[in-house]
Amino acid sequence: MVRLGAMGDILHTIPAVAALRHSFPRAELAWILHPRWMPLVSGLGLADHLLPFDRRSPLSAFLALRWLNRFRPDTAIDFQGLLKSGALAWFSSPERLWGLAPNFLRESHSALFYTDTCSPLSAHIVDRHLELAAALGASPAPHLPQPRGLPEGSLPTEPFVLAAPFAGWASKQWPIQRYMEIGRRLWLEKRLRLVLNVMPGAPLPSSEFLLRHESGLEGLIDATHRATAVLGLDSGPLHLAAFLGKPGLALFGPTDPARNGPHGNSIRTLRQPGAPTSYRRHFQIAPSMLALDVDSVWHSLAEVLP
């Protein structure tokens, strides 16, 4: 199974991998992923082998390719749908190589590596992956194991709402000044702290109504477990919260929540009506994100707080 990253994509693949594990308990399963995302799946029992692959590291790439050349699976599944992931799956010399049909792929040419394809009926990527697993005879697992993480940094002892204000694309972010006002209202009206999770050293304005939580991935997982609710963007931390069943609000702009929104029923999505969909990476906040004013975000968030 190939799904290298990113964070949200790994989480969106776990249900399909769990279905394969549940349906084929005697199979020897290997999952190739970027080493950065190992804390999301380590110890969950989803695969017999978790193979780290970082194409920017010659040693990592060499070791992974040598291992794949010896493993030689009966079946490989490209959950990523890119040329690099299709080529990586093909390199393992499987008898059959499965992936989504070309019109469902970001890079349609990756289907040239496949021997079998699936044309899913679902819109959301989680359900598409499950359909791909079902094409191999897998049925959904009755239970999904959850990553636990480890405590990092300081968190308030009182209840708090967790937000991760930065995303891989600046166009998917919400102005940081607006978090300050949300934090003020949360404390004055709900007696809830707003905690912003950031990587160590990330720039963040100071405010008496915002608490800074610096951590890596394992600290983020632990903080999400502890949070009362979340305020999220189309980014990995939001999809982690949805995977853990946390209540909250997701702010969407240029990307389509029907395909990439929080999976499950615990998180509500707020998006400007008629917002154009684009998956191009831009370095400025998208107009559709700027259109989500503080009042509308506050009222929607207040409605979902437990």
Spacing of C-alpha 15 from chain mean position = 12
Q: Is the dihedral of CA 67, 70, 76, 81 positive or negative?
A: positive
- Residue 130's pLDDT is 98
Sequence-distant (6+) residues with CB within 8 A of 195 are: 155, 156, 160, 161, 162, 163, 210, 211, 212, 213, 223, 227
User: Bridge-partner residues for 74, per DSSP?
Assistant: none
CA 138/CA 144 separation, integer angstroms: 15
Which domains occur in the chain, in start order? 7-135 (3.40.50.2000), 160-304 (3.40.50.2000)
Q: Are 36 and 4 in contact (CB under 8 A)?
A: no
CA 136/CA 117 separation, integer angstroms: 10
- Residue 168's pLDDT is 83
Q: Is the pTM of this model over 0.85?
A: yes
Q: Are 105 and 111 in contact (CB under 8 A)?
A: yes
Q: If we measure between CA atoms, which residue out of 261, 269, 270, 262 comes closest to residue 291?
A: 270
- Tokens representing 175 are 């102005």
The rounded average pLDDT for each run of 10 residues, N- to C-terminus, in the chain (306 residues) is: 95 98 97 97 96 95 94 96 96 97 94 97 96 98 95 94 92 95 96 94 84 95 98 96 97 93 95 89 91 98 95
Helix (H), strand (E), coil (C) string for the chain: CECCCCHHHHHHHHHHHHHHHHHCCCCCCEEEECHHHHHHHCCCCCCCEEEECCCCCHHHHHHHHHHHHHHCCCEEEECCCCHHHHHHHHHCCCCEEEEECHHHCCCHHHHHHCCEEECCCCCCHHHHHHHHHHHCCCCCCCCCCCCCCCCCCCCCCCCEEEECCCCCCHHHCCCHHHHHHHHHHHHHHHCCEEEEEECCCCCCCCCCCEEEEECCHHHHHHHHHHCCEEEEECCHHHHHHHHCCCCEEEEECCCCHHHHCCCCCCEEEEECCCCCCCCCCCCCCCHHHHCCCHHHHHHHHHHHCC
- The label of the residue with tokens 């590596």 reads 113
- Residue 173's pLDDT is 96
- Tokens representing 254 are 């240029």
CA 195/CA 186 separation, integer angstroms: 11
- The label of the residue with tokens 């080493």 reads 35
Q: Residue 231: which region, alpha, beta or left (left: phi > 0; alpha: psi -120 to 50)?
A: beta
- Tokens representing 301 are 């968030």
- Residue 306's pLDDT is 86
